[in-house]
Structure 1
Amino acid sequence: MRKLLFVLIAPILLFSSCKEEKEQTQMQEVMAIHDEVMPKMSKLGTLVGELNSKENDSTEIGLQYREARKDLQAAHKSMMDWMQNFGNRFDPDEILKGKELTDQKQEWLNEEEKKVKDLKEQINSSISNAQQLLGKSE
């Protein structure tokens, strides 16, 4: 009887632990992307300052400086908005401890994963563009 009970319950336990592991892994991936780009926020600020000092130039390059500054500022705002929205959707136990997500929250996590990947691209491309304009390589 015990063997039969084990044979019936084992697949259920295995499936539920796999589902939980998948959610934890996806949450960890989302947070890893955030953690990768968060330190770049100070670089955004530095580059905005450098571009501010150059954008009084009324030539074509001055316009490029202004556009690059706007892109950096938009990337900064996108990061702040993403973090606020993410924090409103998930509680600390879901983010940090792998608490199981409801179906609705799993849908949200799928959305947030796409958003944070787009955010990473926005931040990296705005930094790269500004550095190129300023003649920097990092």
Structure 2
Amino acid sequence: MKLARISLIFGLLLIFQSCGSGQVEENTKKRAEIIAVHDEVMPKMGQLKSLEKSALQKVEELSAMDSVDSVQIEALKNLALDLDKAYEGMFVWMRQYETEDGDQTPEEIKAYLDEQLILVMEVNKNMKTALSKADSLLKIQ
């Protein structure tokens, strides 16, 4: 992760020195904004998996009981699925995110970064929603 940041900073510095345009500065700020959105929820990845395991464990416990609450079991299964989707969503986004600009023009880079900001904000929202749902469903269990 640190290597990626160092590479990102180094690449951005090279671009900034070679072009020097206002668009390059804007793109640098946009990349920093994207990373900030990512960094906000990345530390919660372990929590997602832990809560997923807790939800699935609760499903097993409830299924073993004499009086089965199928609504509660279904809600916990859906929660586990949401937590897993949020977890995987972060990895899908990280794998496709390009830190290098290549031969793209500053305008092409801007369009790419605008799209990436939308995508990473969606990942951020999905993770927060899943964590909030887990907080409410697992607290009452």
TM-score by length of 1: 0.74
Give the root-mean-square deviation of aligned CA atoms.
2.0
Structure 1: runs of 5 or more not aligned: 1-15
Give 2:111's aligned amino acid.
E
Give 1:72's aligned amino acid.
L
Give 1:69's aligned amino acid.
A
Give 2:72's aligned amino acid.
I
Q: Please list, as runs of the form range in 1=range in 2, the aligned pairs for 1:116-127 lying within 5 A after superposition.
A: 116-127=120-131
1:19 alignment partner, one of 18, 23, 48: 23
Query: SS of 1:53's equivalent?
Result: helix
C-alpha distance 26-101 of structure 1, shift in aligned 2 (>3 A):
farther
Structure 2: runs of 5 or more not aligned: 1-19, 63-67
- Say whether residues 1:90 and 2:94 are aligned partners: no
Give the structure 2 partner of residue 77 of structure 1: 88
Give the structure 1 partner of residue 76 of structure 2: 65
Which digits, 9 at most, give the CA deviation of each residue in 1:78-112, with x for residues without a partner? 100000000xx332xx6xxxx99623332211110
C-alpha distance 64-40 of structure 1, shift in aligned 2 (>3 A):
same
Give the structure 2 partner of residue 105 of structure 1: 109
Query: SS of 2:58's equivalent?
Result: coil
CA contact (8 A) 2:27 2:109 kept: no
Query: SS of 1:90's equivalent?
Result: coil
Which digits, 9 at most, give the CA deviation of each residue in 1:21-55, with x for residues without a partner? 11111110000000111001011011011111111
2:54 alignment partner, one of 50, 54, 64: 50
Structure 1 outlier segments of 4+, above 3 Å:
none
Query: How many angstroms apart in 2 are the aligned matches of 1:64 and 1:19?
Result: 47
CA drift of 1:18 comes to 2.3
C-alpha distance 100-131 of structure 1, shift in aligned 2 (>3 A):
farther
Q: How many residues align?
A: 113
TM-score by length of 2: 0.73
Aligned residues with identical type, % of pairs: 26
